[in-house]
Amino acid sequence: MKLVVALGGNAILRRGEQGTAEEQRTHVEYAAAHIAGLVALGHQVAITHGNGPQVGDILLRMECAQEILPLMPLDICGAESQGLIGYLIQQALENALRRAGVHRRVITLVTQTVIDPADPAFGRPEKPIGPFYTREEAMAHSDRPGWTLHEVEPGRFRRVVPSPEPVRIVEQNSLRILSDEGFIVVAAGGGGIPVTADADGTLRGVEAVIDKDLTAGLMADALDADVLLILTDVPHASLFHDTPQEEPLGRITAAEAERYLAEGHFPEGSMGPKVKACIRFARSGGKAGIITSLEDAPRALQGLAGTCITP
Ligand code: ADP
Ligand code: MG
């Protein structure tokens, strides 16, 4: 089967860790071993990934160095994170494949995603990014052009940016050609670098972030994939998550998933976009969108684990 695999942020960097190069390498190697297993089973794989923790580190590093180096806009930070994570995946996966005796090349594509400048998200930036600030620091930063700061916890502020819907992956043809040629492509990291496209095709980076699960769905459409495989740190999506009534979901239709989404079972910042991406993919010609863990992925592809959203 042709799979688009979306790796969650914690497949690379875990919350609460320092985020050393060694830690990130170890997590990526673990993820790569599982993905190599899917390739060894004969699946054609393309990969996308989150970048929240890495962009957070890049932003913090910039803050610390601002006396001597100019601040960079978010699109450039996103590009930096795609290179960093893509490199780690590319190397770890090629090593894992070589060990498994599978001869496939892995290539990372710096990817831009077109968004609509009229997207309502631009009217209400609400995706927190970067470090936490005290009230005094927040006041000092509030005059930076294009900055909105929210008090996310009492006395703790963070920058918030718009999270518009992904409309189109700029590099989708390159992605398709590379994948058809047999390359395992790592693309659209962090949802892709958000850009606007003028009528004449001119592209410009914007200060926003795109949800990686929603772009993963577009990538699966662009590649005509059979399955959108969203791998995260839970084995399935559930109803009544984190309550004594928790009920894991197995195979459900897009219509059922939509009803549960409307009932509020899947929050915006975490499970919501995963379920939404699977519903859209199932409705645009995909066979299934699957939400599961790295470890359960092979069994989920056989219908024996995970949450599977079908047309
Ligand atoms: P990723 O980095 O993989 O995108 P997220 O943290 O964004 O991961 O989303 C996964 C998290 O969603 C899980 O760790 C889980 O705690 C949370 N979650 C929220 N609602 C649900 C639900 N209904 N079913 C399962 N997990 C849920
Ligand atoms: Mg997420």
Q: At 4, list the tokens.
A: 């688009």
- Give the closest residue (by CA) to ligand 1 atom 1: 8
Q: Residue 260's domain spans which residues?
A: 2-113+169-310
Look at residue 205 and tell me if it is in a domain: yes
Look at residue 129 and tell me if it is in a domain: no
Pocket probe for ligand 1: among 233, 238, 247, the residue whose CB has the most ligand atoms within 8 Å is 233
Tell me the per-residue pLDDT of 98-157, one tens digit each, with 9 for 90 and over. Answer: 999 999 999 999 999 999 999 999 999 999 999 999 999 999 888 888 899 999 999 999
Atom of ligand 1 nearest to the CA of 8: 3
User: Residue 11: pLDDT above 90?
Assistant: no
- Give the closest residue (by CA) to ligand 1 atom 7: 270
At 12 the pLDDT is: 78
CB of 91 closer than 6 A to ligand 1? no
CB of 241 closer than 6 A to ligand 1? yes
CB of 157 closer than 6 A to ligand 1? no
Is residue 269 very low, low, confident or very high in pLDDT (cuts 50, 70, 90)? confident
Residues 309 and 254: their CA atoms lie apart, in Å, by 6
Domain count, the chain: 1
pTM of the predicted model as reported, rounded to 2 decimal places: 0.97
CB of 50 closer than 6 A to ligand 1? yes
Pocket probe for ligand 1: among 12, 15, 271, the residue whose CB has the most ligand atoms within 8 Å is 271
Distance 270 CA to ligand 1 centre (A): 5
Yes or no: say if 157 and 148 are a contact pair by the CB < 8 Å rule. no
Tell me the per-residue pLDDT of 71-81, one tens digit each, with 9 for 90 and over. Answer: 999 999 999 99
Look at residue 178 and tell me if it is in a domain: yes
At 134 the pLDDT is: 95
User: Residue 14: pLDDT above 80?
Assistant: no
At 249 the pLDDT is: 98
Distances in Å between the Cα of 187 and the Cα atoms of 6, 77, 90, 222 are: 10, 16, 11, 12
Look at residue 139 and tell me if it is in a domain: no
| Domain CATH for 235 | 3.40.1160.10
- Give the closest residue (by CA) to ligand 1 atom 18: 271
Look at residue 136 and tell me if it is in a domain: no
Active site residues: 9-10, 127, 212, 274
Look at residue 51 and tell me if it is in a domain: yes
Residues 130 and 123: their CA atoms lie apart, in Å, by 20
At 50 the pLDDT is: 96
**8-12, 41-45, 248-252, 255-259: the lowest-pLDDT one:** 8-12
Residues 161 and 74: their CA atoms lie apart, in Å, by 10
Tell me the per-residue pLDDT of 223-254, one tens digit each, with 9 for 90 and over. Answer: 999 999 999 999 999 999 999 999 999 999 99
At 129 the pLDDT is: 93
The upper half-sphere exposure of residue 300, i.e. CA atoms within 13 Å in the direction of its Cβ, equals 30
Residues 263 and 126: their CA atoms lie apart, in Å, by 22
Look at residue 138 and tell me if it is in a domain: no
At 28 the pLDDT is: 96
At 210 the pLDDT is: 97
Look at residue 264 and tell me if it is in a domain: yes
